[in-house]
Amino acid sequence: MSYSPILIVGGEPNSIFLEIFFKTLKFHKIKSPIILISSEKILKKQMKKLKFKKKIKILDHKNFDNIKIDNKSINLININFNQKNVFEKISKKSNKFIEECFKVAFEILKSGKIYKFINGPISKKYFLSKKYLGMTEYISKKFYSKQSCMLIYNKKLSVSTVTTHLPIKQVAKNINKKTISEKIFLIHNFYKKILKINPRIGVLGLNPHCESVHKFNEDEKIIRPLIRNLKKSYKISGPFSADTIFLKNIRKKFDVIVGMYHDQVLTPIKTLYEYDAINITLGLPFIRISPDHGPNEKMLGKNKSNPLSLIKAISFLDKNWLKQKKV
């Protein structure tokens, strides 16, 4: 049985990603050939620092169709970048390098040669520089995707958000029937096409206990009537209060819980499952996953970072039934 390759962009060079990448190669049996886009010099420095040994095979990103690729070596598309120390403080210095890594990755993904993609963490402060809310929006824009959705996936329970990395004060004005409907459609479509499941979806309200003393109540005016209408097409219910839905006997009734804003659902899912979750972007012409963690500067070089999220991401993409290109 042959497996299609997984393309990985290492992301911020001063992050824990290469450490967990090395640990994943060492301790996890990977079926799909891995192609890494990063810097050979950075790779070698971190391999030496973290005492990881493996041969590096340099690939030409414009001509690797007929080359036999396996995981006996690190298959690397080298993007030139170097720095004096193994690890340095995250800054704008790496922006051009990261941008070039993504540029090469997007070129490959647009060619249709590869449709399984993982990216390592970046610094939102320096790399995105307030131009994008997050990597979901950054990648979606590059592929002219009008609709996208961030799904934090765990086999037992997944969560998604109607708004992503918005400040709290901007959340309410971005809650509308169109946006919620688009997210529900993408989630349902993903579960049906890829996981072969008709998902049970629970939707949270915006206000505490789905109540408001103000004249306009989003839960009653927007969310509740929309869910009533969506029940004709989906296994969906709500709105539910965020303070009780994650209790064991309630959350087990759902496959996906959709919140109105980021921390409403990300905080409980990480509390429940820690690193056992992956971030999937829905609505792209390929499958994009990122481990559910950031650069984590405090852990650089300590060799103590947990690779579970990357292992879960690769395991998910290893599934041979992932043949559909658009999710």
**Tens of pLDDT, residues 188-241:** 999 999 999 999 999 999 999 888 767 778 999 999 999 999 999 999 999 999
Q: Containing domain of residue 310, as a range?
A: 1-145+284-327
**Is pLDDT at 183 greater than 90 in this prediction?**
yes
Q: 131 forms bridges with which residues in the sheet?
A: none
- Within this chain, do residues 76 and 209 fall inside the same structural domain, yes or no? no
Give the pLDDT score at 254: 98
Residues 185 and 264 both lie in one domain = yes
Any bridge partners for residue 189, and if so which?
A: none
Q: What is the CATH number of the domain that holds 102?
A: 3.40.718.10
pTM for this one? 0.88
Q: Angle at the Cα of 56 (from 293 to 40), degrees rounded to 5?
A: 65
CB 161 within 8 A of CB 264: yes
Q: Which of 276, 294, 313 is the last residue of a domain?
A: 276
* Residue 211: Cβ within 10 Å count: 12
Residues 131 and 230 in one domain: no
Query: Over the stretch 137-182, which tens digit does the pLDDT of each residue have?
Result: 899 888 888 888 999 999 999 999 999 888 999 999 999 999 999 9
Write out the chain in H/E/C secondary structure: CCCCCEEEECCCCCCCHHHHHHHHHHHCCCCCCEEEEECHHHHHHHHHHCCCCCCEEECCCCCCCCCCCCCCCEEEEECCCCCCCCCCCCCHHHHHHHHHHHHHHHHHHHHCCCCEEEECCCCHHHHHCCCCCCHHHHHHHHCCCCCCEEEEECCCCEEEECCCCCCHHHHHHHCCHHHHHHHHHHHHHHHHHCCCCCCEEEEECCCHHHCCCCCCCHHHHHHHHHHHHHCCCCEEEEEECCCCCCCHHHHCCCCEEEECCHHHHHHHHHHHHCCCCEEEEECCCCEEEEECCCCCHHHCCCCCCCCHHHHHHHHHHHCCCCCCCCC
Q: What's at 223, amino acid-wise?
A: I
Final residue belonging to a domain, choices 241, 258, 276: 276
Specify whether 222 is located in the same domain as 121: no
Same domain, 34 and 94: yes
Same domain for 235 and 199: yes
Mean pLDDT in the chain?
A: 91
pLDDT of residue 320: 47
Q: Calculate mean pLDDT across residues 38-62.
A: 94
Do residues 256 and 292 both lie within one domain?
no
pLDDT digits (tens, 9 = 90+) for 200-211: 999 999 999 888
> Which pairing describes strands 158-161 and 256-259: parallel, antiparallel, or unpaired?
parallel
* Number of Cβ within a 10 Å radius of residue 44: 12
Cα(323)–Cα(196) distance, integer angstroms: 13
Six token digits for residue 319: 């599934």
Residues 236 and 271 in one domain: yes
Shared domain for 117 and 21, answered yes or no, is: yes
- Residue 295's identity, in one-letter code, is P
- Note the pLDDT tens digit of each residue in 63-122: 777 678 889 999 999 999 989 999 999 999 999 999 999 999 999 999 988 889 999 999
Predicted pLDDT at 324: 47
Q: 208 and 121 in one domain?
A: no
27-49 mean pLDDT: 95
Given pLDDT bands bounded at 50, 70 and 90, which one contains residue 3? Answer: confident
Q: CA 77 → CA 61, 171, 233, 287, 317, distances in Å?
A: 6, 40, 45, 20, 20
As a residue count, the chain comes to 327
Give the residue from 276, 294, 309 where a domain finishes: 276
Contact by Cβ (8 Å): 147, 283: yes
Selection from 56, 29, 30 nearest residue 116 by Cα: 30
Give dist(CA 17, CA 153) in Å, integer.
Answer: 19
Sheet with 34-38, edge to edge strand ranges: 56-58, 74-78, 34-38, 6-9, 116-119, 287-291, 278-282, 149-153, 158-161, 256-259, 200-204, 235-240
Domain count of the chain? Answer: 2
- 118 shares a domain with 65: yes
Same domain, 46 and 82: yes
